[in-house]
Amino acid sequence: MAKIVVFYYTQTGQTLQIAQSVCRPLVEAGHTVIYKEIIPEQPLPYPCNGKSFFNVFPESREAIPCPVKPVDLNDAAGAGLVIIAYQVWFLSPSTPFHAFFQNPAIQQYLNGKNCITLTGCRNMWVMAHEKICSYLRNAAGKPAGNIVLQDRHPNLISVMTIIRWLFYGKKERTGLLPAAGISAGDLAHAALFGKIIGGALRSGQWSDLQEQLRAAGAARCKPSIVFMEKTGYRIFGLWAKFILRKSKNNAARRNFLLKLFKYYLFVVLYLIAPVGLIFFYLAYPFLPGKLRSRN
């Protein structure tokens, strides 16, 4: 039987729920699962407000870590598998995970280990996943699989439900809005991914694990969403650099610029993005095959 170490950070608890669902079949099969929480030195609030929500944007996009408490690795030695359960913040990994991967002790620990990445998100995860993979390559870790659970509601509906959840702590259905986040059915389905991972642990064959996970629905993405995400990622980079450069040592100016970014973001989500989707589908036949083939 193998030892599996799960590194996770969560504000709402959803990420831990996903990891536990994936790992449940592994525990039932007799494997040892050890959970290691990444804890910021100054905990980020939940529920949050607009100021605290947007305040993490520049650093998350520019891979600037927040201070986190040391992670005890004493009981994590000899792990046969590492699962990294992270969040996507503004199309990038969260700042606690930037701190995690930039820690030399963690980099040394990940060297040579099979690693599975796992996230629950609204609908955009590709750029954050690419950043996580670059961190793993730098640490000489072995990316073995990727699991993504997504909010299945339409884009603009999920924007409203995530705001209601993060700002007011209301995840459940209210009025005309559905429940926020990953559905109970998808959480339960995540156990199937654990069974597939268990097969790789038994056989020692990791090369085709991602194809098996993908066939089971572990990492779906829509070409239209990827198209918008890549565009947004580049623009977010310009905004983040601009805010950091213009507000250095000036909290009032930072708050003002973050408010501008907030207004920009809502205009994009509710006015520009729908037009962008129309443009995408008109241009779809002429796009590179790699982008058109994403599923």
Q: For 103-147, how does the pLDDT look when each residue is reduced to its tens digit (9 = 90+)?
A: 999 999 999 999 999 999 988 999 999 999 999 999 999 999 999
Cβ neighbours, 10 Å, residue 103: 17
Question: Which phi and psi (to 5°) does residue 67 adopt?
Answer: -65, 130
What is the residue whose two structure tokens read 């040391």? 70
Q: Which of 25-29, 214-218, 283-287 has the lowest mean pLDDT?
A: 283-287
Rounded average pLDDT over 241-260 = 95
Rounded average pLDDT over 161-181 = 92
| More confident position, 63 or 281 | 63
Q: What pLDDT score was predicted for residue 205? A: 93
Mean pLDDT of the chain: 90
Determine what percent of the chain is predicted with pLDDT higher than 90: 77
Grade residue 239 by pLDDT with cuts at 50, 70 and 90.
very high
Q: What pLDDT score was predicted for residue 170? A: 92
What is the residue whose two structure tokens read 């007799």? 30
Q: Name the DSSP letter for residue 274.
A: H
pLDDT of residue 290 exceeding 50, the answer is no
Identify the CA nearest to 87 among candidates 12, 179, 35, 178: 12
Q: What pLDDT score was predicted for residue 280? A: 46
- Assessment of whether the complete model's pTM goes beyond 0.75: yes
Q: Which of 153-157, 269-273, 280-284 has the lowest mean pLDDT?
A: 280-284
Rounded average pLDDT over 203-231 = 90
Identify the CA nearest to 22 among candidates 82, 74, 98: 82
Q: What pLDDT score was predicted for residue 156? A: 80
pLDDT of residue 63 exceeding 60, the answer is yes
Domains of the chain, first to last: 3-221 (3.40.50.360), 225-292 (no CATH)
pLDDT of residue 26 exceeding 60, the answer is yes
Q: What pLDDT score was predicted for residue 294? A: 46
